[in-house]
């Protein structure tokens, strides 16, 4: 146990992952030592037009860079490791992860040219790592990617446990059980604060075992008379293993399609997390020469993503795989909220091509969640018996539901903290309180730009997307302010011009007469001219069309 300084306090807060699903990043600080847990990304909300990905604002960490002892990674999902290439550019600290997690991270860092500069420390369940005055130990969990762990941070104030993402799978595909005994041991020693995964806090009961999916897959593979196409998350190595197993036992070969799927299959096989018999994997060209009932296509696109392999197949625009009548397509995933329509469209297109489509909406058993349901969340709470409880990894209603579960198993209501990003829970001498906020928020990434798109740019994109833009160009004489050329009106995204010539002609006249009136009134500041053109044209267009396009007046002088 490390030394305790009476003035030091324990601070716990999230820079991402609370009040949202995604960009997980949690901070445990005691005195001059900061440990960061995970560094994820989030996909943009529908009002973040044109944005590619979102990462947490890490100002607090860069301002306290001398205190940051490292980033501990719980597992290799994008919402836990995807922010690393951006974060490590500004914060060169060691990262700690299990073998598969580091394998996936290294691939990312290579692409970002950060591999050489980043200290990477391999951990396993039995590691004990020193992070300044703090000590981290680990416990294995079950999740939809192998090598997932929870973390226990020993601090002078007491132990803080972060579960990572977890479920309790009593028949795990890889035989790696969640380490109940280690968790019980940690609980026995005493847990000051527990941070636990709230994703499925709204779901009653127990999440089924991943193994159930394997049984369903094998049955489908056996009965299918033609090819079977399976789309799932590339990172779900357990699921992929079960596809391999089902293919093996039904005498089928597998062709792997989609960049991230090829990538994960290769890393996971290399590191020994995926066991693929020799000769099982074949090239698409070979697959196309074989009988349909001898092959499986394993691909990306389970979320209906527009550019993914399955979506291209559904649109008959994939270079190597054509869906044929009689093929069976399994979408082994649940649509992430917001993707329902894309997935629905993909299913429709596959049905139109004559495929038999099996998807999770049809109670087909081809998918189970990687996150524990209410009974599992209570089991974790009862194993850890924390004094303080902070529900994480979820939107507010999930955190709230998780808090109710914690109360139900005996955590004192006043010891439960549902926090927002940046909001500090401070613990000193066994007492906890909310203690203000650190800087926290979204950093938007658009192309190569990190944080150069803010509210004004997004507001303009929103305006442009709704009703388009009109550019009004007019040249005035330097001598007398008279119109030398124009006004010319160019519109984009407003109205189909050929059908609306009359409208634009009239708009033209309105701009001319507005300018002439202003000149006769001797108004000649450009700002006033521009505002008047905007106002009069805007009013006219709204009356005529009930639309409010962006109006951009450009006035030149010669």
| Binding-site residue ranges for Zn(2+) | 75, 77, 79-80, 143, 165, 393
Q: What is the dihedral of CA 141, 143, 149, 151, to 10 degrees?
A: -90
Q: What is the dihedral of CA 77, 80, 85, 87, to 10 degrees?
A: 180
- Which listed residue (107, 284, 379, 396) binds a copy of itself by CB under 8 A? 396
Window 43-82: residues binding a copy of itself (CB under 8 A): 45-46, 49-50
Alpha-carbon distance of 274 to 277, in angstroms, equals 10
Smallest gap from Cβ 5 to a copy of itself, in A, equals: 36
Window 447-466: residues binding a copy of itself (CB under 8 A): 447-449, 452-454, 456-458, 460-466
Chain centre to alpha carbon of residue 19: 14
Residue 175 binds a copy of itself (CB under 8 A): no
The region of 8-16, 59-67, 273-281, 335-343 touching a copy of itself under the rule CB under 8 A is 335-343
Binding-site residues for Ca(2+)? 50, 52, 446
Smallest gap from Cβ 467 to a copy of itself, in A, equals: 5
- Which listed residue (62, 362, 516, 528) binds a copy of itself by CB under 8 A? 362
Window 499-538: residues binding a copy of itself (CB under 8 A): 499-500
181 annotated active-site: no
Alpha-carbon distance of 297 to 395, in angstroms, equals 35
Q: Which residue, 283 or 557, is less far from a copy of itself as judged by CB?
A: 557
- Which listed residue (204, 279, 325, 410) binds a copy of itself by CB under 8 A? 204
- At 16, list the tokens: 């991402």
Chain centre to alpha carbon of residue 452: 20
Alpha-carbon distance of 255 to 289, in angstroms, equals 12
Choice among 162, 238, 318, 371 that is catalytic = 371
**What is 127-169 written as a DSSP string?**
-EEEETTEEEEEEE-B-SSSS-EEEEEEETTEEEEE--S-B--
Helices and strands: H and E segment counts in the chain: 16, 25
Give the N- to C-terminal CA distance of the chain in Å, as an integer. 79
467 annotated active-site: no
Residues pairing with 357 in the sheet:
329
Binding mask 466-495 for a copy of itself (x = CB under 8 A): xxxx-x-x-x--------xxx-x-x-xxxx
Residue 363 binds a copy of itself (CB under 8 A): yes
The region of 192-200, 281-289, 311-319, 336-344 touching a copy of itself under the rule CB under 8 A is 336-344
- At 188, list the tokens: 């026995």
Residues with Cβ within 8 Å of residue 297, at least 6 apart in sequence: 227, 228, 229, 230, 254, 255, 257, 287, 321
**Can you give the binding site for a copy of itself, defined by CB under 8 A?**
19, 45-46, 49-50, 202, 204, 337-338, 340-341, 344, 347-349, 351-352, 357, 361-363, 395-397, 400, 446-449, 452-454, 456-458, 460-469, 471, 473, 475, 484-486, 488, 490, 492-496, 499-500, 544-547, 550, 552, 554, 556-558
Residues with a known catalytic role: 197, 371
């Amino acid at each position: 146990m490390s030394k305790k300084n009476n003035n030091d306090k324990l601070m716990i807060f999230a820079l991402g992952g609370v009040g949202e699903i995604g960009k997980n990043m949690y901070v445990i600080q005691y005195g001059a030592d900061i440990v960061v847990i995970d560094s994820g990304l989030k996909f943009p909300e529908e009002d973040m037009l044109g944005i590619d990905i979102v990462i947490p604002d890490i100002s607090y960490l860069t301002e306290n860079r001398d205190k940051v002892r490292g980033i501990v990674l719980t597992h290799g999902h994008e919402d836990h490791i995807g922010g690393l290439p951006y974060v490590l550019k500004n914060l060169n600290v060691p990262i700690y992860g299990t073998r598969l997690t580091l394998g996936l991270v290294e691939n990312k860092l290579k692409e970002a040219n950060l591999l050489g500069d980043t200290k990477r420390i391999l951990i396993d369940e039995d590691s004990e790592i020193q992070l300044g005055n703090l000590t981290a130990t680990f416990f294995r969990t079950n999740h939809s990617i192998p090598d997932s762990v929870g973390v226990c941070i020993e601090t002078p104030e007491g132990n803080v446990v972060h579960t990572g993402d977890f479920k309790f799978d009593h028949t795990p595909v890889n035989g790696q059980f969640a380490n109940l005994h280690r968790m019980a041991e940690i609980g026995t020693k005493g847990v000051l604060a527990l941070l636990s995964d709230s994703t499925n806090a709204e779901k009653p009961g127990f999440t089924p075992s991943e193994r159930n999916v394997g049984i369903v897959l094998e049955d489908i593979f056996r009965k299918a008379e033609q090819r079977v196409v399976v789309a799932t998350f590339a990172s779900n190595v357990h699921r992929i293993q079960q596809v391999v197993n089902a293919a093996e036992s039904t005498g089928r070969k597998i062709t792997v399609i989609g960049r991230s799927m090829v990538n994960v299959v290769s890393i996971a096989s290399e590191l020994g997390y995926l066991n693929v018999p020799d000769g099982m994997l074949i090239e698409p060209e070979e697959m196309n020469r074989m009988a349909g009932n001898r092959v499986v296509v394993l691909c990306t696109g389970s979320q209906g993503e527009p550019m993914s392999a399955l979506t291209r197949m559904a649109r008959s625009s994939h270079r190597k795989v054509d869906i044929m009548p009689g093929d069976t397509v399994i979408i082994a995933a649940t649509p992430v909220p917001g993707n329902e329509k894309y997935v629905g469209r993909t299913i429709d297109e596959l049905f139109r091509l004559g495929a038999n489509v099996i998807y999770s909406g049809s109670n087909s058993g081809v998918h189970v969640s990687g996150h524990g349901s209410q009974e599992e969340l209570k089991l974790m709470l009862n194993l850890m018996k924390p004094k303080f409880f902070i529900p994480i990894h979820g939107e507010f209603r999930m955190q709230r539901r998780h808090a109710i579960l914690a109360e139900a198993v005996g955590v004192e209501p006043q010891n439960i903290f549902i926090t927002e990003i940046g909001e500090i829970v401070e613990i000193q001498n066994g007492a906890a309180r909310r203690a203000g906020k650190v800087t926290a928020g979204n950093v938007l990434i658009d192309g190569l730009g990190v944080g150069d798109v803010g509210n004004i740019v997004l507001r303009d994109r929103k305006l442009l997307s709704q009703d388009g833009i009109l550019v009004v160009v007019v040249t005035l004489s330097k001598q007398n302010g008279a119109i030398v050329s124009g006004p010319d009106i160019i519109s984009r995204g407003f109205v189909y011009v050929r059908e609306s010539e009359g409208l634009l002609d009239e708009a033209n006249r309105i701009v001319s007469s507005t300018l002439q009136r202003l000149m006769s009134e001797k108004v000649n500041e450009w700002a006033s001219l521009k505002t008047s053109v905007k106002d009069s044209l805007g009013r006219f267009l709204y009356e005529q069309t009930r639309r409010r396009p962006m109006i951009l007046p450009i006035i030149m002088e010669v």
